[in-house]
Structure 1
Amino acid sequence: MELVLIGVAALLTSGMTFFSGFGLGTILMPVFALFFPVPLAIAATAVVHFANNLFKFGLMASQADWRVVARFSIPAAGAAMAGAGLLGVIDRLPVLMSYTLNEATFEITLTKAVIGALIIVFAWLELWPRFQALAFSPRWLPLGGILSGFFGGLSGNQGALRSAFLLKAGLCKEAFVATGIVSAVIVDIFRLIVYSMVFMASHFAVSRELAAPVIVGSLCAFIGAFAGKRILHKITLHTVRQVVAGAMFVIGSGLMLGIV
């Protein structure tokens, strides 16, 4: 049952989030958490996320803006390692609040609350007409990399903040998608190094059980990404912008309410 649920979630989410550049990890992590401890669920999701981004890298890397990648992703890589290391500490902190709805219990943590609030603010700004007319100076790209990388390492939720900054980098839709993919691959590499040292060692017996779910999730995510690539040319940058902002509102709200 767990393989079917993980596979279906990975396939559908990968296809739907190809344009926004985020969402796979946010949706897939809770599915893994149904069957494994949360730190291992985050690590397993990161492996699927990384494998899927490598596949998309092969599809889109030639269209990336490598100057933006350098300014954004190098700071993001270091920040991702710091965030991943802090996860081991944060994971032991008590929850801020918990509540029950229809016999299901939801927990709100400090990490989820902060990330959710940031994502909602960026989503609101992205839909504000005056903000849409602005273009960020390239000097802000390293800050965006630090924010998205840190929170990506800490919770697995990096894509929304990354997309918010890259949308203002003056990229065409193909370059926006491709640059986000390259940046995500770089962050995934560095946070996986920390996850493997911190979590896989302490949960080695359970981590071996992740092999089949990770393989199934990765293969299904490949199929979804390939389908998304096939229809990229049919949409406009305005559509991409709306999809990104809408997804940011949904995911940010879900994090703040403890649903995601």
Structure 2
Amino acid sequence: MSSSWNSVGLEVLYQVLGWVAFFAWSFSFYPQVLLNYKRKSVVGLNFDFLVLNLTKHSSYLIYNAAMFFSPFIQRQYHDKYSDKEMIPVAANDVAFSLHAVALTSFTVFQVFIYERGIQKVSKVCISITAVVWTAAIVCLIIAWPKSDWLWLIDVFNSIQVGMTAIKYIPQAIMNFRRKSTIGWSIGNILLDLTGGVLNFGQMGVQSIDQHTLVNFYGNIGKTLLSLETVFFDVLFIIQHYVLYPAKKDENGKAIISERVAPLIRPSDKPEEDNV
């Protein structure tokens, strides 16, 4: 039988932090979607980021849903880490993952219907994505005969960690080359940072109550996810507000620099500033 909470207060705090993080992370997808809709353009949003992000959230959904809903996998988890340990996935984790896949897919859909200039998915991104999903299928074939499902979903957890580590890099490089963050929503980043900090705090509350750090290394994916999120979000905040603040004309419209112009077709309308 799994462990229960020792403190009602800490349990309530755990749930509050988890759901606030869920709403912050969930709403973080909307500023970019609204910005794309407002501009009728996805110029400035890196397509490699979108593809890697969809792979990341799909993998994370598989891990969270399997761990949360499967009694068999939960038994395997307890056999590995002890019956006293709590399952490291909460309902808000599953809800977030499901929502993230849906919103990321919708953002990909926007790429096909809005102006995208000369931007396209790179061959490197396509290769990485193909290798990752091929490896996942191979791991499924290996796990199936032995019913080693905990190992398999840990593979998907590792995939989402890896994707989180690299998915922001194309966008950060694009911002650096353009010397601009126009087209990349800072609202997304601020909410994402809030979710990452609260998610890490949620795990800390559970550790304090259980007097153990198992939930950190027993769900290393969630731990690294929070740390990676905070690191890259701080980087984007520095790019947006310090390194490449948008210059505006007398009407408050963002001025497109010469570095941004090569991504845009001559027929494109001037871009508006970030949401």
TM over 0.5: no
In which range does the TM-score fall when normalised by the shorter chain?
Answer: 0.3 to 0.5
| Alignment TM-score, normalising by the size of structure 1 | 0.32
The structure number with the bigger radius of gyration is 2
| Alignment TM-score, normalising by the size of structure 2 | 0.31
Larger RCO: 1 or 2 (CA < 8 Å, sep 6+)? 1
